[in-house]
């Protein structure tokens, strides 16, 4: 038996250049029967075992901890070592570390010659593990039957009572539903039962219930889950899918081989508290991700290694078949070899921005964890966790929810039924969308001014079109011009016959193409992903059936149109849900513009675009003022908060506010300087505040205030004045009169701390 090893992979960051995706083909190329992995962590285990099993290679794991090596024979042994890695004491036989004579860390000989910055060997033909380990270890490996099974690591998601519990939760609501809702509910429940996803759905409900108990607003829903009546009745989503003609099949259908994906939006300020509360109900962990080398950083690294730059010769990505000719050219061969093996190399560990995993089993017993943080992190990535039945729940921080909460926003029937405030649509139609959820970009402003939405339907259509794809494909113009074929206008009346939503592709596939609901979702996915294999049969069926209704030529044209627009079509469920947030936040902006802008600035900062929009709204803006550290609003008037001054920040703003609340407002610049020492405000911060005009209420001569800091700090005694006179080389009393602050000074000061001049432009 030919065994390659001991191999270290690139998941041992900085210790190897061998990626798992390259290890397997190289082992196959040199006709090895097995691979021995040698690392001081279990990060690679699941992927390594899975890939070896897939390509019929025998996986062998050698685990290094401290000065000992452990050789697990089976899955049970691996589980013991996972506990050991997590700090749980176990008894397990081990050997001395010096049984390993040398490690393999380079993919090829040439790569090792060109880099040669890690101690170790490269993968060779006919040069197996017997050349790298002590003979006793080699004999043990050869004689041992290694048997690792991924299935034996299976954990699954928390058991929440299954379909029985799901049905019992919904049962009391059924008697109150109209017949068409009951019919829809029955079909959804049947699919959920068949796919055995009840525990997942109930887990999401539990997360949302816990989030609500913390006082957090939870988003009305996002993604395809908004198309589920079951999710709506459980309170997972807040949008009635039947009212908006949303498709359950877009979310879940019998052809899906994976769990549905239900993401949850929560207030950004409450996310940590929600996770803390979840940890009382479940075992919880964050999900490991890796920062990997992309082409830009690869080419930068190559310049270090080879002192040449051939990056302009490459098409992206580096491993694209279009680049293989570079390998065959002697001038570029070395450059290509390095680029090929560096692209995708792990260079740092990170954490998934939103993902958490939940379990009803003790995670320390089952998966390797980074326990250095308050909430531990899995050492296995999400794809690896899926292999053992663990599903990620995305808990996303949404500033818009926090902003709504600042205005005591609470969900009520009114908020879902009254979406016709003309002022809301006027603001959006004018492109005054700074701070408006999903509509803040320059593209969104441009499209909003063109489309000029007059009602809620047009608002969620605007959100769906707010991407470069619909604009470049002609979808947006076709919608504006309304020049679609008449039969399409009748079928797709809400969008004037234009295929804007993914659900519309499914609708046409069912209505004209004779496809079943779940076939229509496969049809949509296959076209969007350009999956020629999957689309062929469905395409024939669609054209054949559509031809009976609209004729063969039109059926072919329609298919081409779907093919063109499907890749840009948007998820209607997501668009409808998020349009509610856009509407609500715009309504608040229309009712309380001054407070809205001030609170928004506190979350997102201040910008020139925001400054201009506030002026267009006929609201006067004042630079930050020391006695109003968190800002102030009056009718048509905003005083900006201290935190917008570069170098000041939220901490200084908070300390100053606390001092005012405790000791009263500052009565002079001198009063502030004397009190600032006790609250940790440094001279550098004070100087930035002077530049930002924070003390203009006491003295508009900002340049003079710089001088005054030193005077006040030395109590301005006669002796200190003499000292200062010596330092500055002139008489202090006389000099004060000579120091002036020009208009140009103010512009320069404010550009430095704000990015542009506020006070001068506010006057214009």
Q: Which long-range contacts (CB under 8 A, 24 or more apart) does 345-348 make?
A: 345/10, 345/17, 345/19, 345/292, 345/293, 346/10, 346/11, 346/13, 346/19, 346/290, 346/291, 346/292, 347/13, 347/290, 347/291, 347/292, 347/293, 347/297, 348/13, 348/290, 348/291
Nearest to 466 by CA among 445, 448, 444: 444
pLDDT for 302 beyond 90: yes
Side by side, which strands form the sheet with 620-622?
620-622, 637-639, 632-634
C-alpha–C-alpha distance, residues 62 and 606, integer Å:
55
Residue-wise pLDDT for 270-293, tens only, equals 999 999 999 999 999 999 999 999
C-alpha–C-alpha distance, residues 235 and 170, integer Å:
10
Assign residue 677 a region: left if phi > 0, alpha if psi is -120 to 50, beta otherwise?
alpha
Asked whether 362 and 270 are in contact (CB, 8 A), the reply is no
Q: pLDDT grade, residue 722 (50/70/90)? A: low
- The pLDDT assigned to 316 comes to 81
The average confidence (pLDDT) of the chain is 93
In this prediction, residues 759-764 reach a mean pLDDT of 66
Lowest mean pLDDT among 151-160, 399-408, 707-716: 707-716
Angle among Cα 91, 92, 98 to the nearest 5 degrees reads 130
pLDDT for 397 beyond 80: yes
Angle among Cα 168, 172, 174 to the nearest 5 degrees reads 105
Task: Examine residue 573 and say whether the peptide bond preceding it is cis (omega within 30 degrees of 0).
Answer: no
Q: Which long-range contacts (CB under 8 A, 24 or more apart) does 606-611 make?
A: 606/640, 606/644, 606/754, 607/755, 608/755, 608/756, 609/434, 610/434, 610/435, 611/756, 611/758, 611/761
Asked whether 308 and 335 are in contact (CB, 8 A), the reply is yes
pLDDT for 447 beyond 70: yes
Q: pLDDT grade, residue 255 (50/70/90)? A: confident
Residue-wise pLDDT for 26-36, tens only, equals 999 999 999 99
Helix ranges (H only) for 124-244 are: 135-143, 162-174, 179-195, 198-213, 229-233
- The pLDDT assigned to 443 comes to 95
In this prediction, residues 336-341 reach a mean pLDDT of 96
Lowest mean pLDDT among 313-317, 532-536, 587-591, 695-699: 532-536
SS3 33: coil
Nearest to 49 by CA among 37, 32, 38: 37
- The pLDDT assigned to 718 comes to 45
C-alpha–C-alpha distance, residues 641 and 583, integer Å:
27
- The pLDDT assigned to 717 comes to 43
C-alpha–C-alpha distance, residues 155 and 364, integer Å:
12
**Dihedral sign, Cα of residue 685, residue 688, residue 690, residue 694:** negative
497 or 529: which leads in pLDDT: 497
- The pLDDT assigned to 532 comes to 80
The fraction of the chain above a pLDDT of 70, given in percent, is 96
C-alpha–C-alpha distance, residues 210 and 278, integer Å:
7
Please state the separation of Cα 374 from the chain's center in Å: 21
How many CB atoms sit inside 10 A of residue 640's CB?
28
Residue-wise pLDDT for 747-756, tens only, equals 999 999 999 9
Q: pLDDT grade, residue 182 (50/70/90)? A: very high
Q: pLDDT grade, residue 716 (50/70/90)? A: very low
- The pLDDT assigned to 737 comes to 60
Q: Which residues contact 708 (CB under 8 A, 6 or more apart)?
A: 669, 670, 673, 699
pLDDT for 469 beyond 90: no
Task: Using the structure block, give the residue that is written with the tokens 């309304």.
Answer: 482
Asked whether 82 and 108 are in contact (CB, 8 A), the reply is no
Q: pLDDT grade, residue 323 (50/70/90)? A: very high
Asked whether 388 and 150 are in contact (CB, 8 A), the reply is yes
- The separation between the first and the last C-alpha atoms of the chain, rounded to the nearest angstrom, is 83
pLDDT for 583 beyond 70: yes
Residue-wise pLDDT for 639-663, tens only, equals 999 999 999 999 999 999 999 999 9
Q: pLDDT grade, residue 711 (50/70/90)? A: confident
Nearest to 121 by CA among 4, 242, 244, 227: 4
Q: Which residues contact 107 (CB under 8 A, 6 or more apart)?
A: 17, 18, 19, 22, 23, 26, 122, 123, 341
How many CB atoms sit inside 10 A of residue 30's CB?
15
pLDDT for 195 beyond 80: yes
SS3 572: helix
C-alpha–C-alpha distance, residues 492 and 498, integer Å:
7
- The pLDDT assigned to 315 comes to 85
10 Å CB burial of residue 487 (0-12, 13-18, 19+) is: middle
Residue-wise pLDDT for 74-97, tens only, equals 999 999 999 999 999 999 999 999
In this prediction, residues 470-499 reach a mean pLDDT of 93
Count of CA atoms in the C-beta half-sphere (13 A) of 374: 6
C-alpha–C-alpha distance, residues 322 and 733, integer Å:
76
pLDDT for 301 beyond 90: yes
Residue 624 to residues 283, 470, 476, 627, 688, Cα–Cα distance (Å): 46, 42, 42, 9, 11
pLDDT for 714 beyond 90: no
- The pLDDT assigned to 528 comes to 85
In this prediction, residues 187-212 reach a mean pLDDT of 96
Asked whether 704 and 736 are in contact (CB, 8 A), the reply is yes
- The pLDDT assigned to 537 comes to 84
Q: What is the CA radius of gyration of the chain?
A: 32
Asked whether 747 and 760 are in contact (CB, 8 A), the reply is yes
C-alpha–C-alpha distance, residues 607 and 613, integer Å:
10
Count of CA atoms in the C-beta half-sphere (13 A) of 311: 15
pLDDT for 728 beyond 60: no
SS3 661: helix
Lowest mean pLDDT among 57-61, 250-254, 544-548: 250-254
- The pLDDT assigned to 261 comes to 84
pTM attached to this predicted model: 0.89
DSSP for residue 317: S
Residue-wise pLDDT for 381-392, tens only, equals 999 999 999 999
SS3 739: coil
Lowest mean pLDDT among 78-87, 256-265, 530-539, 719-728: 719-728
């Amino acid at each position: 038996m030919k065994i390659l090893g001991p191999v270290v992979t690139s998941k041992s960051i900085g210790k190897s250049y061998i990626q798992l995706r390259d290890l397997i083909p190289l082992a196959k190329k040199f006709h090895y029967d097995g691979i021995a992995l040698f690392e001081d962590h279990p990060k690679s285990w699941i992927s390594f075992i899975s890939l070896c099993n897939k390509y019929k290679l025998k996986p062998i794991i050698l685990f290094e901890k401290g000065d000992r090596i452990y050789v697990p024979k089976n899955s049970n042994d691996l589980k013991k070592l996972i506990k050991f890695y997590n700090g749980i004491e176990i008894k397990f036989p081990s050997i001395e570390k010096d049984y390993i004579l040398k490690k393999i860390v380079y993919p090829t000989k040439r790569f090792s010659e060109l880099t040669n910055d890690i101690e170790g060997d490269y993968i060779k033909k006919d040069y197996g593990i017997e050349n790298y380990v002590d003979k006793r270890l080699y004999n043990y490996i050869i004689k041992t039957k290694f048997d690792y099974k991924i299935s034996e690591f299976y954990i699954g998601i928390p058991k929440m009572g299954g379909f029985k519990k799901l049905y019992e939760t919904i049962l009391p609501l059924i008697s109150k539903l109209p017949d068409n809702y009951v019919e829809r509910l029955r079909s959804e429940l049947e699919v959920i039962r068949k796919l055995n996803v009840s525990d997942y759905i109930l887990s999401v409900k539990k997360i949302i219930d816990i989030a609500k108990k913390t006082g957090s607003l939870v988003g009305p829903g996002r993604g395809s889950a908004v198309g589920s009546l079951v999710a709506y009745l459980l309170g997972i989503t807040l949008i009635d899918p039947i009212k908006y003609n949303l498709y359950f099949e877009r979310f879940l259908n019998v052809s899906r081989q994976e769990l549905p994906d239900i993401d949850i939006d929560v207030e950004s300020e409450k996310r940590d508290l929600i996770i803390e509360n979840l940890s009382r109900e479940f075992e919880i962990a964050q999900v490991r991700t890796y920062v990997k080398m992309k082409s830009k950083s690869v080419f930068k690294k190559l310049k270090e290694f080879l002192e040449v730059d051939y990056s302009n010769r490459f098409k992206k990505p580096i491993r694209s078949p279009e680049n293989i000719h570079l390998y065959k050219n002697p001038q570029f061969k070395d450059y290509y070899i390095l680029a090929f093996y560096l692209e995708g190399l792990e260079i740092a560990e990170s954490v998934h921005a939103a993902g958490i995993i939940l379990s009803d089993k003790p995670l320390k017993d089952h998966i390797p964890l980074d326990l250095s943080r308050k909430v531990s992190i899995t050492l296995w990535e999400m794809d690896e966790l899926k292999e053992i039945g663990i599903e990620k729940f995305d808990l996303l921080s949404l500033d818009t929810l926090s902003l709504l909460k600042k205005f005591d926003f609470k969900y009520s029937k009114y908020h879902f039924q009254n979406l016709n405030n003309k002022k809301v649509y006027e603001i959006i139609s004018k492109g005054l969308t700074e701070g408006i959820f999903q509509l803040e970009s320059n593209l969104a402003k441009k499209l909003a001014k063109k489309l000029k939405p007059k009602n809620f339907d047009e608002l969620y259509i605007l959100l769906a079109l707010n991407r470069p794809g619909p604009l470049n494909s002609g979808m947006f113009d076709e919608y504006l011009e309304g020049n679609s074929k008449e039969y399409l206008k009748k079928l797709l009346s809400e969008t004037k016959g234009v295929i804007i939503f993914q659900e519309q592709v499914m609708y046409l596939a069912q209505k004209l193409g004779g496809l079943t609901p779940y076939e229509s979702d496969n049809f949509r996915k296959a076209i969007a992903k350009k999956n020629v294999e999957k689309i062929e049969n469905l395409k024939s069926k669609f054209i054949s059936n559509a031809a009976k209704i609209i004729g063969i030529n039109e059926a072919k044209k329609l298919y081409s149109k779907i093919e063109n627009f499907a890749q840009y079509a948007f998820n209607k469920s997501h668009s409808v849900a998020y349009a509610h947030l856009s509407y609500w936040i715009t309504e608040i902006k229309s009712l309380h513009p001054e407070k809205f802008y001030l609170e928004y600035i506190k979350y997102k900062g201040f910008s020139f675009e925001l400054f201009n929009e506030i002026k267009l709204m006929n609201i006067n803006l004042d630079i930050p003022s020391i006695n109003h550290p968190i800002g102030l609003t009056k009718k048509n008037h905003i005083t900006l908060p201290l935190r917008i001054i570069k170098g000041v920040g939220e901490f200084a703003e908070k300390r100053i506010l606390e001092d005012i609340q405790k000791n009263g407002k500052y009565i002079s610049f001198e009063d502030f300087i004397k009190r600032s020492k006790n609250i940790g405000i440094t001279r550098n911060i004070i100087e930035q505040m002077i530049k930002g005009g924070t003390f203009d209420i006491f003295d508009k001569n900002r340049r003079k205030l710089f001088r005054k800091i030193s005077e006040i700090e030395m109590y301005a005694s006669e002796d200190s004045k003499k000292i200062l006179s010596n330092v500055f080389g002139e008489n202090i009393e006389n000099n004060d009169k000579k120091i002036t602050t020009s208009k140009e000074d103010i512009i320069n000061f404010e550009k430095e701390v704000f990015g542009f001049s506020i006070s001068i432009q506010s006057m214009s």
